[in-house]
A and B are shown apart, each in its own frame.
Chain A
Amino acid sequence: MLLANILLLAGLFLLIRSIPQQRIRKYFLIGLSIIFVFSLQPTLPIRNFDFWLPLSTIGLSLVCWAFCCRSENDRLSDHRSELLIIFGMVLLIALSRLFSFEGIITASRPPTLSVSLPWIAGWMILFLLFYYFGRLKSEKLFSILIGFILLTLVLLKTPFFALQASKFFRNLVGQSSELALANDLRWFGFSYIAFRLLSVLIDAKKGRKWVATPGDFLVYVCFPATLAAGPIDRMDHFNKELNSAPRDFLEDFREGISRVAIGLFKKFILADSLALIALSSQNAALINHTGWAWASLFAYSFQLYFDFSGYSDVAIGLAHLIGIKLPENFNHPYLKPDIAKFWNSWHITLTQWIRSYTFNPLVRKLRKKKDPAFPQWFMILITQSVTMGLIGLWHGVTLNFFIWGIWNALGLFFHQLYADHTKNQLTTISEGHSIAFRVYTIGSTLLTFLFVSLGWIWFVLPNIDSATLFFERLF
């Protein structure tokens, strides 16, 4: 998100907050969420895709709501106003083609009405189908929806598949496939949207009963402040915040403005300045002094932290302005004395998501067997590797991201073994020798930072060759 978007959003949130009736306030929030889904989508080289992808975000959200988030006995007419606002806004955005609004609401001019209206109608039909067949709560439909979202995520995150998809879509719209690139299909915020939708679908499949209005659900999935970089909130928590009685405005305002200011400082001053000196695919091979190589690596560690946590601060601050308290995403991760605590403090909501939907089920499955085939340590290694490997692949399906995940999994595994082995000694030291324990904590914090920073080499560099070359430069 650009600085202008952030300031605009802050102003609009404050305006909406000033509306006295909660119902009207929510209508405006729904409309704003839809506008931002379209306006934040960057221009794409494939014709009309900067309209189709945001439209699909809205469509997919409504389909998921229709399938699993309405109460048993509600009728479509109960949500008439919200549905009218949603479809009305989408139609208005499509109609903005008739005016010169491109660059303001949509990145480029929306497609002609003869093309856009059938697509909108198509999503409406799909929505109605899922609304009526959703009552069946069919396992197959759940699997189809979950599978579709997962496949889309894999498609967009895997350079090879993304390139093939780009070629396919370019051919479909009559553009040359020779110019196709893997990043032609940049679906703004889809990584976060997908995880929100998946969490709702997976929980519903397990039998959890979600009840929300279509507007509430759409705001949860497409909340403008969290579209770019999270946090990934849980629906029950978000809805509770959205529908709770408004808190003290002054307190929210003060908290919100200060968090936004801190976030902007972190992102636009610290992170953007560090970006000039931080390790990157461009400069990795050019740095020819060991000392400066280390410095650029540490600069990258801090750049990444300030960039990501800055965005999170902005999102949390903006949400405060409209009276919503989002979960924290970072908690001084580089000041943690071990890798486990680091991962409990870095991108907390993503880690928790993966833990809830991958790590815990896997652990339960492996432990269920009365006579496990593998020893305990091996099970820890497997579950850590799967979890961290998935976190790596979430950033992009490439070998380097996977290695980065495994690097951290091994760190967690060996730390677990070490912690089990030294638990008693550490307790003794912490109780009797406060200075020794402090020195130990400082040392372990530095070691953890070093380990995490070295891991970032796999994260930032695009292939194994460049990463190994940089490791050689460091040592």
Chain B
Amino acid sequence: MKRILSFTLKVFFFLIILLALYYLIQPEPFLGKISLYNFIFPGRERLPFGENPRVAYNFSLYNLNAMFASHEISGVQEQDNSFRVITIGDSSVWGTLLKPEETLAGQLDGEKIKIHGAERTLEVYNLGYPTLSLAKDVLILQRGMAYKPDLILWFTTMESFPNEKQIESPLLAKNSEEFAQLLTSYGQIPGWMPKSFPESFWEKTLFCQRRALMDLIRLQLYGFMWAATGIDQDYPADYPAAQVDFDRDNSFHGVDGIYPNDQMAWELLDVGMKIAGNVPVILINEPILISDGENSDIRYNFYYPRQAYDVWRKDLADRCTGEKWKCLDLWNLLSQSDFTNSAIHYNSEGGQKVADTILDVIPESLQ
């Protein structure tokens, strides 16, 4: 019995030392940088995201280091005549229901354009992430700047603007400290930003972080299946088409009529432009489904009542003019048949139309 007790005590002390070291070092963010992607497995063509890992060989995790380390952008070498472009935005940019080569980045990648008289090959990286939030765009843009882009294509839509949408997503919630620091460094602390509290003792323990650590291992394991199959999302054989018939509802996020400007995070556009610095940005109002179904005289689609959207679109255009931002308004570029399961998700053909339009605009935007 004495020997059992002594053995148990030794194990207990060893565990305590291990847990204390973990608590003090907090290695999770650093561990995210260790990756088999771009070494053993090819880098992913879009950031990890997925709700059905067994089928998608992909899943959502919130360690930005790990997310970027698994992306192909982390493994690229600079080439002489390439022109590096990053695309920022929501699920329409990430490419819900699209194969990597069908996404906007996939369609633009490898295209040749003339810039200042010289032919350059576009090297386009998909940094979209399926969350509608300017805050998320800004956070990813900040990370993306480390890869020295020559051009930033920033896709956005009205649904990304409401203050309440900014930090509700898990990605932002888990990286709220980094986001708060980012805003502070650019002198912008908006009123909607909740006060950030330091992590509690419990949150810093190995026990609390076990899931996040396991996610790092799972991300590496799914790299195997990504390499073997080239699949990184669940492609259902059938899905419900985007809604085209609506109730007679003129409200946007519970507000009837025009959505108040002070309820929208316009200031994050400024932050994004400051982050980009001298790197040119094309701010693109992404295509939306314009329905011709029931009550379409009131609503464009599931997200937007006509009145609120039209006012927001005009405000965006005014800001672009006022701030001298390069903007591209593609809101009505696509027809109803170009959309898949949502008012902002377009199919491969729709993506091609968007890509063609952007290709026409890029050279003049860089003058």
- B-binding residues in A (CB < 8 A): 250, 253, 273, 276-277, 282-283, 286-289, 292-293, 295-296, 299
In the complex the two chains form, is A277's CB within 8 Å of B224's CB? yes
Q: Which of B15-23, B77-85, B214-222, B262-270 contacts A (4 or more CB under 8 A)?
A: B214-222
| Chain A min CB distance to B228 (Å) | 3
- B224–A288 CB distance below 8 A: no
7 more contacts with CB within 8 A, not counting A277-B222, A288-B229, A292-B224, are A250-B4, A277-B225, A277-B228, A283-B228, A287-B229, A289-B228, A295-B228
B230: CB under 8 A from chain A?
Answer: yes
Taking a contact as CB atoms under 8 Å apart, the answer to whether A283 and B4 are in contact is no
By a CB distance below 8 angstroms, the chain B residues around A283 are 225, 228-229
Complex formed: what's the CA distance from A387 to B144 in Å?
Answer: 61
Known: A250-B3, A273-B217, A276-B218. A286 touches B224 (CB 8 A): no
Q: Among residues 205 to 250 in chain B, which have CB atoms less than 8 Å away from a CB atom of chain A? A: 217-218, 221-222, 224-225, 227-231
Establish whether residues A273 and B228, one from each chain, have CB atoms under 8 Å apart when the complex forms.
no
Closest to A274 in B: B221
Residues of B within 8 A of A295 (CB): 224, 228
B55 CB within 8 Å of chain A: yes
Best-buried of A273, A276, A283, A288 by chain B (most CB within 10 Å) = A276
Give the residues in chain A near B229, CB-CB below 8 Å: 283, 286-288, 292
Cα A299 to Cα B224 with chains together (Å): 11
Report chain A residues within 8 Å CB of B55: 282
What are 28 contact pairs spanning A and B, CB under 8 A? A250-B3, A250-B4, A273-B217, A276-B218, A276-B221, A276-B222, A276-B225, A277-B225, A282-B54, A282-B55, A283-B225, A283-B228, A283-B229, A286-B229, A286-B231, A287-B228, A288-B228, A288-B229, A289-B227, A289-B228, A292-B227, A292-B228, A292-B229, A293-B228, A295-B224, A295-B228, A296-B228, A299-B224
- B217 — which chain A residues lie within 8 A by C-beta? 273
Q: Can you name the residue of chain B whose Cβ is closest to the Cβ of A296?
A: B228
Q: Is the CB of B4 within 8 A of A273?
A: no
For B55, the closest partner residue in chain A by CB is: A282
A interface footprint on B180-223 (CB within 8 Å = 1, 0 otherwise):
00000000000000000000000000000000000001100110
| Complex CA–CA separation, A299 to B227 (angstroms) | 14
Chain B residues within an 8 Å CB radius of A253: 4
Query: Complex formed: what's the CA distance from A282 to B230 in Å?
Result: 14
Chain B residues whose CB sits within 8 angstroms of the CB of A282 once the complex forms: 54-55
Most buried by A among B55, B222, B225: B225
Nearest CB in chain B: distance from A278 CB, A: 9
A residues near B228, Cβ cutoff 8 Å: 277, 283, 286-289, 292-293, 295-296
Query: What is the chain B residue whose CB lies nearest that of A253?
Result: B4
Minimum CB–CB distance from A104 to chain B (whole Å) comes to: 25
- How many angstroms from the CA of A292 to the CA of B230 in the assembled complex? 11
B3, B221, B227: the one contacting A273 at CB < 8 Å is: B221
CA distance A365 to B25 in the complex (A): 70
Give the distance to chain A from B237, nearest Cβ to Cβ, in Å: 14
Q: Which residues of A contact B54 (CB under 8 A)?
A: 282
* Measured CA separation A276–B4 after assembly (Å): 38
Complex: how many Å from CA A296 to CA B218?
A: 16
With A and B bound together, what is the CA distance between A253 and B7 in angstroms? 12
Instruction: Specify which chain A residues have a CB less than 8 angstroms from the CB of B3 in the assembled complex.
Output: 250
**A295→B55 CA distance, assembly (Å):** 19
Whole-angstrom distance between the alpha carbons of A282 and B56 in the complex? Answer: 11
The residue of chain A having its C-beta at the shortest distance from the C-beta of B231 within the complex is A286
CA distance A292 to B40 in the complex (A): 11
Q: Which positions 1-55 of chain B face chain A at CB distance < 8 Å?
A: 3-4, 54-55
Distance in angstroms between the alpha carbons of A286 and B232 in the assembled complex:
12
Give bound CA distance, A286 to B230, whole Å.
9
Q: Which residues of B contact A286 (CB under 8 A)?
A: 228-229, 231
Whose C-beta in chain B lies nearest to the C-beta of A289?
B228
When C-beta atoms are compared, the residue in chain B nearest to A276 turns out to be: B221
- Complexed CA–CA distance, A276 and B225 (Å): 8
B231 CB contacts on chain A under 8 angstroms: 286
Q: Chain B residues near A292 (CB, 8 Å)?
A: 224, 227-229
CA distance A398 to B300 in the complex (A): 55
What separation, in Å, do the CA atoms of A282 and B54 have in the docked complex?
9
Q: With A250-B3, A253-B4, A282-B55 as known contacts, state yes or no: A288 contacts B230, CB within 8 Å.
A: yes
Whose C-beta in chain A lies nearest to the C-beta of B217?
A273
Chain B positions within 8 Å of A273 at CB level: 217, 221
- Tell me the minimal C-beta distance from A298 to chain B in angstroms: 11
Nearest 6 A-B pairs (CB), nearest first?
Answer: A292-B228, A277-B224, A286-B229, A276-B221, A287-B228, A277-B221
Of chain B, the residue at the smallest CB distance from A287 is B228
Whole-angstrom distance between the alpha carbons of A214 and B160 in the complex? 70
Contacts of A250 in B (CB 8 A): 3-4
Q: How far is the CB of A406 from chain B (nearest CB, A)?
A: 29
Q: Whole-angstrom distance from the CB of A65 to the nearest CB of chain B?
A: 37
Specify the chain A residue showing the minimal Cβ separation from B225. Answer: A277
Give the chain A neighbours of B227 by CB distance below 8 A: 289, 292
How distant is the Cα of A299 from the Cα of B6 in the complex, in angstroms?
40
A296: chain B residues at CB < 8 Å are 224, 228
Give Cα distance in the complex from A82 to B348, angstroms: 71
Q: Could you tell me the distance between the alpha carbons of A253 and B1 in the complex, rounded to whole angstroms? A: 11
Residue with the highest number of chain B CB atoms closer than 10 Å, among A287, A295, A296 = A287
Q: How far does the Cβ of B244 sit from chain A's closest Cβ, in whole Å?
A: 33
* A299-B225 Cα distance, complex, nearest whole Å: 12
